[in-house]
Structure 1
Amino acid sequence: MVYLNKNITDLRKLAKEKHEEYANAKPFPNIVIDNFFDEEILSKVLGEFPDLSTKSNVNVFDNLNEKKLGAKGEANFGEYTKLICHYLNSQPILEFLQELTGIKEILLPDPYFYGGGYHEIKPGGYLKIHADFNKHITTNLDRRINLLVYLNKDWEESYGGFFELWDKSMVSAQRKLLPIFNRVAIFSTTDFSYHGHPDPLTCPPDRSRKSIALYYYTNGRPANELNDDGHSTLFVGRKGKSNDIAPPKIIMPKLISAVKNFTPPIIFNLLKKILK
């Protein structure tokens, strides 16, 4: 038997112990757990991590808002990466997250890894502060939780790459986390959970910032977590930094409402995807 959590004997017990810490964290519910996985297994996952710039089936982002690479699905996963990721989509982890977050609706994984899976940022890369897309493009389920696994051994503060959590004022980061090996960050995703890695990475040219992202969904969510019915990534500029992000695509809300009223749902949803 392969033990992926050697240091954690009871995930549900850990979730109960950490629930208050998670729920009361600032600037929105979140938690960081170090040494979550068996180090030997996770080292093998790191050994399988490909140079995404040499692979097909990869999303390449290179604009004012983001400069990063992200794999599509699990086509580039190795044996141990599949083991870890399938485990993170399994019943024990779903029950752990349900208990940890206190979310009432039943949590569902995303076996398609839409927007998730391997993420890599090369030197000079970044991901500006944002709130995530809130609906799965295929299932239309509501995105509720992000779980990030960092894979960067011997990562120095001078390299940058901090994962930052911001509140609505956008004045300064309320929490900054170094993306060190075997660190797991978990947080609730709403239209106001602003986060990112906004400053260019300064690691040596032979290094990159590596992580694996898992997203979890529910069918429905509290209305107070939403600012819009469905949207793609919402980038927000930091106060005091001019031209921090690219201007958003603006479509008049009244026009959207009018089109929705007179368009069959399947066509309306297709139009929304195209416009995003």
Structure 2
Amino acid sequence: MKLYFDGPRLMDVAAANKAAYADASPFPHIALDGLMPEEMLDLVLDEFPSLDSPIWTRYQDYNEGKLESQGEARLPEDLSLILYQFNSAPFLEFLEELTGISGLIGDPYFTGGGLHQIPRDGRLGIHADFSRHYRLPLERRLNVLVYLNKDWKDEYGGHLELWNRDMSACVEKILPVFNRTVVFSTTDWTYHGHPDPLTCPEGWSRKSIALYYFTVDRPKHETIPGKQTTLFLERPGEQFPPDAAGAGDLSLAAVKRRGRRIRAREIAQRWTPPAIYDAVDRARRGHR
């Protein structure tokens, strides 16, 4: 298998774009066209599993209609070897230079990542991603999405939407066209998704490589206390149905209230003698 990443070229791209990344709104991000070798992406497309392949883990509910490879174990060998290169030193050093985040660690398990595919009528609601690795003591810091969709038209939809912190407006939409790579910082406030159903032709799908990067620690201001899993949020005028996953705990106001409650408990636990705190906690639970 050929090694595709040219370290010096990637570092030149990073140096030329790091200011734009840092200054981007509503949160640090960038969309880079032509970053990946087309030969590599053509190979990915040639080997890309079909919609009916048994390799996919399928999500189908109000907020999600998508397929994930859940890692590389069931993929063709060439695809696995390409995914491994995204965890190599040249690519990690490129990301560190571009984003200013040092000590980045690739995910050897490709948790929630690898290949993604969304068919016609599928969608991915606006959300903030899980913030900690499920198997390793690591904090999630970056998303990298490499789009694989040749001849993708604007009217097919599937734009990656980036929303502001108070969920009042979509600030940017990015069309998922072939060889467009999107990098963005991952915090509990980086709300994104493609919330409207795809309108591509029947049999088409929105294909991408999804990669996540971690560090040992992170700035405290990037997280909501107690929030670790993926959190879907309502857009203005949208109301989740009662049977939506986690319904009733998904509004922005609810997230902030929950964070304040958790933070208050942390402070109380820190400054209250253990015997007294445990007694009060047992009494509180007994009155639920």
Moved more, 106-115 or 220-229: 220-229
SS in 2 for 1:144: strand
What is the percentage of aligned positions where both structures have the same residue? 47
Aligned residue for 1:115, secondary structure, equals coil
TM (normalized to structure 2)?
A: 0.82
- On the 8 A contact 1:36/1:184 being kept in 2, the answer is yes
Deviation of the 1:228 alpha carbon = 2.2
* Aligned pair partner of 1:67 in 59, 65, 78: 65
Equivalent residue number for residue 113 of structure 1: 110
Instruction: State the partner residue of 2:285.
Output: none
- Tell me how far 1:140 sits from its aligned partner: 2.6
CA contact (8 A) 1:158 1:202 kept: yes
The answer for the alignment partner of 2:74 in structure 1 is 76
Counterparts in 2 of 1:248-267, with a 5 A limit?
248-249=248-249, 253=261
The residue that corresponds to 2:164 in the other structure is: 167
Shift in Å at residue 81 of structure 1?
2.1
User: 1:154 aligns to what?
Assistant: 151
Structure 1 residue 37 corresponds to structure 2 residue 39:
no
AA matched with 2:199: T
- Residue number among 210, 229, 232 corresponding to 1:232 in the alignment: 229
> Structure 1 pair 126/219, CA: closer, same or farther in 2 (3 Å)?
same
Letter in 1 for 2:198: L
Q: Distance in 1 between matches of 2:230 and 2:88?
A: 26
Give the Cα–Cα distance (whole angstroms) in 2 for the partners of residues 152 and 137 of structure 1.
30
Specify the SS of the correspondent of 2:106: coil
Mapping 1:73-222, distance limit 5 Å: 73-104=71-102, 106-222=103-219
Find the aligned partners of 1:254 and 1:26 in 2 and give their Cα distance. 29
CA contact (8 A) 2:157 2:200 kept: yes
Cα separation, 2, equivalents of 1:248 and 1:55: 34
Residue of structure 2 equivalent to 1:269: none
Instruction: State the AA in 2 paired with 1:42.
Output: L
Could you give the per-residue CA deviations for residues 227-248 of structure 1, whole angstroms, max 9, x where no partner exists?
A: 1244110111111223389325
Matched residue count: 258
Q: Deviations over 1:79-120 (max 9, x none)?
A: 43223211111001111111111114x110001000000111
Structure 1: stretches of 5+ with no match in the other structure: 263-276
Distance 1:257 1:201, change over 3 A: same
CA distance in 1, matches of 2:205, 2:79: 18
Moved more, 238-247 or 92-101: 238-247
8 Å contact from structure 2 (residues 72, 83) kept in 1: no
- Give 1 or 2 for the bigger CA radius of gyration: 2
- 8 Å CA contact 1:122–1:201 kept in 2: the answer is yes
Give yes or no for contact 2:225–2:262 (8 Å, CA) kept in 1: no
Separation in 1, partners of 2:48, 2:224: 36
Q: Offset of 1:171 from its aligned partner?
A: 2.6
Aligned counterpart, 2:17: 18
Q: Distance in 1 between matches of 2:214 and 2:3?
A: 26
Letter in 2 for 1:201: L
**What RMSD over aligned residues (CA atoms) do the two structures have, in Å?**
2.5
Moved more, 241-250 or 167-176: 241-250
Secondary structure of the corresponding residue to residue 152 of structure 1: coil
Residue 268 of structure 1: aligned partner: none
TM superposition score normalised by structure 1: 0.85
Structure 2 portions without partners, runs of 5+: 275-288
Contact 1:50–1:76 (Cα < 8 Å) also in 2: no
Q: In the alignment, which residue of structure 1 is the partner of 2:48?
A: 49
**1:43 positional shift:** 0.8
